[in-house]
A and B are shown apart, each in its own frame.
Chain A
């Protein structure tokens, strides 16, 4: 009997939850704010769905009702991707160790 591909995706999903669980527990509490902003940025990988949706139109009709939603979603996700990664970068750049000049 063949296994439904859905089961494979479900396996990936469940295992990723466990990976996430252990990885996030090892994040140092002082970096919890950057953790939130970076998870924000990576969850915007939803942009792949938005791109597929917005490229569904034909050449003569780029903007269909379905592609329009895709274009809106692209703007939203792009704000998040750029904003999320850059603000994380900005925060992480501020974390400095004590200077050992004493």
Chain B
């Protein structure tokens, strides 16, 4: 296949990838978008086979490995529960990162295959691109592995900090640049390996100090890195599809990190520098005296909701942990049968990754036009009769609006307290991720329902 024809086909697959993302602007077009993505991928892979034109025994092995990886991927995709999406995405990021590292290594060992010159005499530009691709890929890999372990609970979500951490990180980052420079002048393979090794190390070091509460930012950030790694390799291979995709994914992840940071009112740098959500809670808790709370049971809750004309549900990660989304939907169905208007309010950082709550509600057959984002619904709380907070905590805390001393001050929150009455399903009065007490617990119009979210929801449904 001629180089020009394959370049055009790669461009087409790049455009199809753009359309795949474009389709996600509404749920109706999203499925078609995904199909465009799949077609784009098929084109890119077939063009590569045709332009390499090597259909010898190596080709058979390629197909075998493709099928092997594909079936593992398909198996995971069908088996993974929706609550585990953050872990899955983190895991997938690590694979993209590692694949980028492997491709870069392969190109370094055998540059002839990629038309980049001969070993020890690789074109300068290619060498720089390769080094960037390998370094960013390695950072993505080790960073994602840590994120995966933290999300999976195999590693504590608490930030791990030590003295001189920032200094060490800065030192490693500088040495990555220095090594890249010397790699270009000497073409030494030893330097290339060291570069990859310290990139793995820095990926590990930048994620360990980031606390569990900041995971949505971390996942989005690693999403972005995986894109830049792909773009770096795309430059090495002079492949348009890869360059376009890398840029798309890179900017997509960057925008998501920005949205997540804004949702928490944190600057991107303070997230990266880490240490949030671990150390402060011990001090703030001591200062708070015991305050009275009103607690109730399923009967009280059912009574309140039966007499309401509109109810707003505020779900959070706790709902996912308790697997209460289906029970919640049943409760809402019963409410709707009684002529009560129900809508859902979702905070940008509810859950552990962008849009996580929406997926869980969709899984429970909640129509997406009943689910609203913070800006869309925040004014409605004042007119609603009951707010039903299930598994959410920090995102409803009015302290964010009133107390400049609070670590979450300035964070956009759902104005739940403006509702006539608030039902708060929670196991205990323990603080949320941010480690601070929620003033909402002690409000006059709040009724605490101390129970497992799923059980409580089922009990309320029975009492309705």
Contact = CB atoms under 8 A, between A and B. Distances in A.
A, B: real partners: yes
Contacts of B373: 29-30
Residue with the greatest number of chain B CB neighbours at <10 A, chosen from A36, A39, A56: A39
Contact of B248 (A9, A23, A93): A23
11 contacts: A20-B18, A20-B250, A30-B346, A42-B37, A47-B48, A48-B239, A69-B105, A78-B68, A79-B92, A80-B73, A92-B30
Interface residues of B, number: 118
A67 B92 contact: no
Interface in B40-82: 40-41, 44-45, 47-49, 52, 54, 56-59, 61-62, 65-74, 76-78, 80, 82
A17 B368 contact: no
Contact of A42 (B113, B234, B245): B245
Interface in A65-81: 65-67, 69-81
Interface in B397-442: none
Main SS of the interface on chain A? helix
Contact of B73 (A25, A81, A92, A96): A81
A81 B355 CA distance: 21
Contact of A98 (B52, B239, B353, B370): B370
B454 interface: no
A6 B125 contact: yes
Interface size bracket, A side: 35 or more
Contact of A51 (B28, B62, B245): B62
Contacts of B98: 73, 76
Interface of B: 13-14, 17-18, 20-22, 24-28, 30-31, 33-34, 37-38, 40-41, 44-45, 47-49, 52, 54, 56-59, 61-62, 65-74, 76-78, 80, 82, 85, 88-89, 92-93, 95-96, 98-100, 102-103, 105-107, 109-110, 112-114, 125, 219-220, 223, 226-227, 229-231, 233-253, 255-256, 259, 346, 348, 353-356, 358-359, 362-363, 365, 367-371, 373
A53 B110 contact: yes
A71 B93 CA distance: 18
Given A51-B52, A55-B54, A90-B77, A40 B92 contact: yes
A73 B362 CA distance: 34
A49 B241 CA distance: 11
Contacts of B20: 38, 42
Nearest to B368: A95
A44 B99 contact: yes
A40 B34 CA distance: 12
Nearest to A87: B77
A28 B353 contact: no
Residue with the greatest number of chain A CB neighbours at <10 A, chosen from B54, B62, B367: B62
A23 B247 CA distance: 12
B69 A78 contact: yes
A96 B251 contact: no
Contact of B92 (A20, A59, A71, A80): A80
A98 B367 contact: yes
B359 A40 contact: no
Nearest to A60: B57
B38 A96 contact: no
A91 B359 contact: yes
Interface in A1-36: 5-6, 9, 12-14, 16-17, 19-21, 23-36
A20 B242 contact: no
B96 A92 contact: no
Given A55-B62, A91-B362, A16 B37 contact: no
Given A50-B102, A94-B363, A30 B368 contact: yes
Contacts of A5: 238
